[in-house]
Structure 1
Amino acid sequence: MDATDLRIALFSGNYNYVRDGANQALNRLVGYLLRQGAAVRVYSPTVDNPDFEPTGDLIHVPALALPGRAEYRAPIRLPGRVRRDIAQFAPNIFHIASPEILGHRALSLARSWNVPAIASVHTRFETYPRYYGLTFLEPLLVAILRRFYRRCDAIFAPSESMAQILREQRMSYDVGIWSRGIDRDIFDPRHRDLGWRQGHGIADDEVVIGFVGRLVMEKGLDVYSDAIDSLERRQVRHRVLVIGEGPARDWFEKRLPQGVFVGFQKGPDLGRAVASLDMLFNPSVTETFGNVTLEAMAAGLPVIAAKATGSESLVEDGVTGRLIRPGAIEAFADALQHYCENKGAREAAGAAGCAASERYGWDQVNQALVDGYLRVIRQRAEGVQGPPRSPVP
C-alpha cells in the first residue's frame, strides 16, 4: 500500500474561511496528498467570502457563528446528506483536525464503520480560558479532550514539546509528529526592505520589535504590552511593528499607541514585512508549533519567546534567541533590551535561526504524516485493534 491507495476524509472546523496557521497547514497537506495521487475530501463550515480559496474538494457542514468571535464558525451537526457523501466517497482513513462537535460526530462515524481515525493537534484549547477569566474550566477541558483523543487510533502533534505535553496529559497511547514547513521563497533575509520601513516612519537605525499573528488575547497581547512598557520605563530605544489583524486590534493599539500597525499581510508582502523586523517577540503559550517563530527564524531574526510548547522545539535558548518563563515580564524585557542594544548579538542569533530553519521543508513534513496514515491503516489490516470504546480514565 502507498499514497495512491489513500482515501482520506478530512474534518476541520475552519478549513479556509479565516486564515491561520492551522488551516494553511491543512491546505498544504491536501495539496501534497493530491500530488501524490491520494484521494481527499474535506468537510468543514464554509462562508460566502472566505479568506482564501480551498485546496481540493470542500463540502459544507452546518455551523453557527461563535458568540463574541463571529468570524469563527462552530459546526453543529453532521447531517444526513454529508454522511451519504462520506459513504459514497468510501474513505479508508478519517483525519480530524479539531475536537469540536463535527470532530466528535466524525469520530463516532469512523468507529461505527470500523474505519481508522487519526487526529492532528493544532492548538492548546485547554489554555484558552485563562485569557478570559475562566481558568477553573481548564481541568474540564482537559478531560473532554482526553476522552476525544483516546478514541482515535493515533494523534499527531506538530512538535516534540507538544507531543510530550500530550503524553503527560495521557491524551493517547500513540502520539506521532506532523511538523510544519517553511516556504523559503517567501521567508528569507534578502527580502529585508529599508524603504518599506521608511514608508512606515521607521528610521534605518531604529531597532524594530515585531509581533506577527492574529490579534486575539490568547496570543499573549497583555504580556507583550507589559514587556514593551518596561522597555519604555528603561528608556531603551526601539520601535514596535505589528503584523496581523483580529478582534483585539483596537485593544492592542490603545495599549501600544507608539506602535506601527500594518494589518494583515500575505505571500511576498508578509515575507518582506517579517524580514524588515529586527527581532520577533512571541509571548504566546497556546501554540503547538509556532509557525510565525519558524518564519521569523527563516528570515534571519532572533526570536524572544515564551518557554512553552512549539517554541521550545524551535528556539535554542542563547543561540537563536531566548526562551523566557511564560508571563515573566521583566525577564522578557531583559532579553528584548539585550537584542535592542547589541547588534552583533542580533546578527548572530538571526544567522543561527536561519540555518536551523533549513531542515523544515513542507514536502518532508507532510510525507511524515502520509507515512503515519499508512502505518495506522496497516495496523488495522494486520488485526491490531483500535482504541478502546470506553476511554481509560
Structure 2
Amino acid sequence: MKIAIFTDTYIPQVNGVSKTLQRLASYLESQKIEYRLFAPQTKHSAFHSDMVYRFTSVPLIVYPECRLALPNISVIRKNLEHFRPDLIHIATPFNIGLAGLYLGKKLNIPIVGSYHTHFDQYLQYYELPLVSKLLWRYLHWFHHSFRTTFVPSEDARKELIRHGFSNLKIWSRGVDCDSFHPHFQEEWLKQKYSIKVPYILTYVGRLAPEKDLDTLMKIAKELPDVISRKVHWLIVGDGPLRKSLEKEALTNMTFTGYQKGRMLTQIYAGSSLFIFPSTTETFGNVVLESMACGTPVIASKAGGVQEIVENGKTGLLCTPGQVEEFTHSISKLLNDEKLLTKMNNSARTYALSRSWESIFSQLLLDYEEILTAHLVSYA
C-alpha cells in the first residue's frame, strides 16, 4: 500500500492535527508502508525530504500561526505520477487539501479525508457567524467525493450527520504513555517556576478565542480566596491572545509559551489538575496527554472531551461557560486528597488503554477495505 497525505498544517506547527499526522507518518515508516506527505513550508521546517514535500506559505492576517500554502500543482502531479499512490488521504480543506482533491480526481486515485476541526464553531469567536452556512456548504462539497471521512469522536460524527454528511468512520486518537507518564517530581517543576504554593493548575493549548480563555481567566479570578492562595497557574501555549491575557494575568499565573517533549510531560505530571474550558474540541489530545501523566482533568462537558473524561472517575465535567461549576470542582478536588489520588490513578489507567498502535492498525484496515471496494468497482 502506498499513501499520499495532503495537509495544510504539519510540524513544526503545534496543534492536534499536525501532531496526529506526524505520528501517522512515523507509524507508516515503522510498518514499512511508503508514503508522501504534502504540507506548507514554515520558518523552522526543512523545505522537503524524500517523503515530505513543502510548499511556500504565508501567514493568515487574523491568525498568523495558521498558514495559507501556495502549492505547485504541476510539481505535485509529477510526484504523484512517479510515486503512484494507492490512496490519497486529505486532512484539511484548504489549498493543499484542494490540490489533493483535484489531482486525486484527475488521476483516478481513491480519496479519503479526515475532519479535525469545528471551523463553524470557531467563527462564533471571530464574530463571523454569518459565514457558517457558506462554510458548511463548502465542506459538504469538499467531502462529497471522499470514499470515507474519518472523524475523531462520536460527537464529531453526530455533528456531521446533522449537517448531511455520510460515509463516516471514527478514527480516534491515542497517546504515547512512554513519553507521557507520571514519573516526574513535582518539586522540580515548582523550583523551575519559583512556585511556593502547594498546588499547580495547568492549561495547555492555543491561546486563541475559540479555546474559551475568557472562561479560564474568570475561573482563576473567582476561585475562593482560601483556594486561590494555595494555587499557581501555568498557561502553556501561544497564540493571538497571549499579550492581552498576560496584561490581565493574576500574580499567581505564569505564561510558559509553547512546550514540548520532556518539558511538557514534566508540566503535566507536576500539575495537580488540568483545567480545560474549551467547547470546540473534536477530540482533545491535550486532555488525554494530561491523563497519561496521571493528572485529572476539569473540562467543559462538550465536544469530544466528554468522551475522554469519565465524570467523577478521571476528572470532572462542567457545564460550558459556568465559572461557578469550575471553581467548585477545583475546590472539591483540592480539598479531598484521597479522591484526587484516586483520580490520578484512574486517569493514568484509562490513558494506558488508548495506544496509538491499535488506533493506526485499525486505520490501515479501513484503508484496505476502501481499496478493496475501489478495485471491485473497477473489476
Matched residue, 1:7 = 2
The amino acid that maps onto 1:174 is N
Give a deviation string over 1:285-314, Cα, whole Å, max 9, x none: 222111110011111111011112221110
The amino acid that maps onto 1:310 is G
Equivalent residue in structure 2 for 1:41, among 36, 43, 67:
36
Matched residue, 1:32 = 27
**Structure 2 stretches lacking a partner, 5+ long:** none
3-state SS of 1:86 partner: helix
Q: Distance in 1 between matches of 2:285 and 2:212?
A: 16
Matched residue, 2:168 = 175
Normalising by structure 1, report the TM-score.
0.90
Matched residue, 2:187 = 194
Give a deviation string over 1:85-113, Cα, whole Å, max 9, x none: 12221111110010113212321321232
The amino acid that maps onto 2:6 is F
Q: Distance in 2 between matches of 1:47 and 1:131?
A: 26
Q: Distance in 1 between matches of 2:206 and 2:367?
A: 31
How far apart are residue 262 of structure 1 and its match? 2.3
Normalising by structure 2, report the TM-score.
0.93
- 1:321–1:106 distance in 2 versus 1, CA, 3 Å: same
The count of residues paired between Structure 1 and Structure 2 equals: 377
Q: Distance in 2 between matches of 1:336 and 1:54?
A: 46
Q: Distance in 1 between matches of 2:60 and 2:199?
A: 39
> Is 1:292 matched with 2:277?
no
Matches within 5 A, 1:338-377: 338-377=332-371
3-state SS of 1:176 partner: strand
Matched residue, 2:160 = 166
Matched residue, 1:382 = 376
The amino acid that maps onto 1:311 is V
Matched residue, 1:19 = 14
The amino acid that maps onto 2:234 is L
Deviates more, 1:212-221 or 1:311-320: 212-221
Matched residue, 1:117 = 111
3-state SS of 2:354 partner: coil
- 1:56–1:305 distance in 2 versus 1, CA, 3 Å: farther
Q: Distance in 2 between matches of 1:355 and 1:257?
A: 34
**Structure 1 stretches lacking a partner, 5+ long:** 1-5, 386-393
Q: Distance in 2 between matches of 1:116 and 1:276?
A: 46
The amino acid that maps onto 1:324 is C
How far apart are residue 234 of structure 1 and its match? 7.5
How far apart are residue 190 of structure 1 and its match? 1.5
Matched residue, 1:389 = none
Q: Distance in 2 between matches of 1:54 and 1:20?
A: 20
Matched residue, 2:234 = 241
Q: Distance in 2 between matches of 1:353 and 1:297?
A: 5
Matched residue, 1:388 = none
Equivalent residue in structure 2 for 1:212, among 187, 204, 211:
204
3-state SS of 2:350 partner: helix
How far apart are residue 136 of structure 1 and its match? 2.6
Q: In the alignment, is the contact (CA less than 8 A) between 1:78 and 1:102 conserved in 2?
A: no
Q: Distance in 2 between matches of 1:338 and 1:361?
A: 31
Matched residue, 1:60 = 54
Q: In the alignment, is the contact (CA less than 8 A) between 1:43 and 1:58 conserved in 2?
A: yes
Q: Distance in 2 between matches of 1:191 and 1:33?
A: 31
Q: RMSD value over aligned CA atoms?
A: 2.2
Q: Distance in 2 between matches of 1:180 and 1:220?
A: 22
Matched residue, 1:337 = 331
How far apart are residue 232 of structure 1 and its match? 5.0
Matched residue, 2:218 = 226
- 1:186–1:110 distance in 2 versus 1, CA, 3 Å: same
Equivalent residue in structure 2 for 1:105, among 94, 99, 106:
99
How far apart are residue 164 of structure 1 and its match? 2.4
Q: In the alignment, is the contact (CA less than 8 A) between 1:31 and 1:56 conserved in 2?
A: no
- 1:232–1:129 distance in 2 versus 1, CA, 3 Å: farther
Q: In the alignment, is the contact (CA less than 8 A) between 2:177 and 2:351 conserved in 1?
A: no
